[in-house]
């Protein structure tokens, strides 16, 4: 039986080949990704956000069940990044997050209307733009970030290409760095799922969602992708190193979380 090429070719050469192929594959989409009016407006907005929060701290809020044990009312006057369907908590909280991020195709496809109605600045994957009406005025469009699945890297400036790292949390970490935040605190990033299966496999929920903070998060009939925790960790490690080298820090205040990349801190000690 022949061995797969990936096992025969040395890892550095395999990675170089894959990155080169990825770069060539992206060539046809580059003009639109940089010259489309929506992307030009998004790049202008992103440039204006560079270092606007220099020296401040931010909380990146995951959507894990641990949020049920976390007093989120403490975050009312903090800078916060919410992700995916975090908005289901807003009525209970009485406030919204400062920023919102979503990159998953299925999330945006199924909930584009909900996302567009959110009042805060929204950062979405550029490839999701067809889910929004082409008649939207520039002032109403989300801010589109040119994200990709391959060629791992940590972008310190997000006006160009940004690697997704298999989780929207990686995008939020790159946005927070771009904005100049000195300290970023993760909460609700449980890094642990009840549902098991092949990474990135698309499944349809058959009932209440046990993997997220709300049973309706990916409720019955909703399509979603099983997590790729290994790739997520690659992105987290790159983020940790980028922040460390810049004299900044990322800490993890998730209650009972399984992620081990970042230093752990007690959530309540932060206030």
Residue 29 domain-assigned? yes
Residue 271 domain-assigned? no
Rg of the chain (C-alpha set): 19
Longest dimension (CA), the chain: 61
Mean local confidence (pLDDT), 137-164:
95
Domain that holds residue 102: 9-256
Mean local confidence (pLDDT), 123-143:
96
Q: Looking at residue 22, what is its pLDDT?
A: 52
- For residues 241, 107, 103, 22, the Cα torsion angle rounded to the nearest 10 degrees is 100
- Span 6-42, pLDDT tens digits: 445 555 554 445 455 454 545 555 566 778 999 999 9
- Span 172-185, pLDDT tens digits: 999 999 999 999 99
Q: Looking at residue 169, what is its pLDDT?
A: 98
The total number of structural domains that make up the chain? 1
Residue 173 domain-assigned? yes
Residue 45 domain-assigned? yes
Measured distance CA(241)–CA(200) in Å, rounded:
26
Mean local confidence (pLDDT), 136-158:
94
- What is the residue-averaged pLDDT of the chain? 91
Q: Looking at residue 12, what is its pLDDT?
A: 53
- Span 62-87, pLDDT tens digits: 999 999 999 999 999 999 999 999 99
- Span 44-63, pLDDT tens digits: 999 999 999 999 999 999 99
pLDDT above 90 for 248: yes
Cβ-based neighbour number of residue 265 at 10 Å: 15
Q: Looking at residue 14, what is its pLDDT?
A: 44
Measured distance CA(239)–CA(49) in Å, rounded:
19
Q: Looking at residue 33, what is its pLDDT?
A: 73
Mean local confidence (pLDDT), 109-128:
97
Residue 99 domain-assigned? yes
Measured distance CA(56)–CA(129) in Å, rounded:
31
Contacts of 197 (CB under 8 A, 6+ apart): 203, 226
Measured distance CA(238)–CA(243) in Å, rounded:
9
Residue 266 domain-assigned? no
Measured distance CA(25)–CA(4) in Å, rounded:
22
Which pLDDT band, with edges at 50, 70 and 90, does 152 fall under? Answer: very high
Residue 237 domain-assigned? yes
Q: Looking at residue 6, what is its pLDDT?
A: 45
Residue 213 domain-assigned? yes
pLDDT above 50 for 238: yes
């Amino acid at each position: 039986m022949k061995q797969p090429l990936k096992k025969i070719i040395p890892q550095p050469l395999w990675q170089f080949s894959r990155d080169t192929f990825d770069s060539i594959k992206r060539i046809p989409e580059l003009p639109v990704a940089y010259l489309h009016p929506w992307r030009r407006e998004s790049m202008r907005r992103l440039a204006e956000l560079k270092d606007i929060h220099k020296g401040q701290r931010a909380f990146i809020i995951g959507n894990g069940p641990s949020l049920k044990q976390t007093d989120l009312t403490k975050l009312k006057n903090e800078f916060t990044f919410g992700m995916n369907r975090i908005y289901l908590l807003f009525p209970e909280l009485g406030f919204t997050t400062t920023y919102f991020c979503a990159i998953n195709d299925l999330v945006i496809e199924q909930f584009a209307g909900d996302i567009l109605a959110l009042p805060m600045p929204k950062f979405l994957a550029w490839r999701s733009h067809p889910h929004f009406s082409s008649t939207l005025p520039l002032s109403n469009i989300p801010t589109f970030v040119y994200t990709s699945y391959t060629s791992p890297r940590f972008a310190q400036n997000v006006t160009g290409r940004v690697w997704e790292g298999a989780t929207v949390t990686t995008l939020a970490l790159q946005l927070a760095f771009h904005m100049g935040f000195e300290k970023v605190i993760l909460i609700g990033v449980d890094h642990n799922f009840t549902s098991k299966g092949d990474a990135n496999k698309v499944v349809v929920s058959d009932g209440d969602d046990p993997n997220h903070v709300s049973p309706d998060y990916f409720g019955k009939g909703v399509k979603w992708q099983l997590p790729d925790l290994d790739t997520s960790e690659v992105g987290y490690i790159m983020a940790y190193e980028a922040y460390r080298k810049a004299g900044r820090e990322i800490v993890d205040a998730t209650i009972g979380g399984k992620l081990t990349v970042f230093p752990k801190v007690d959530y309540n000690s932060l206030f």
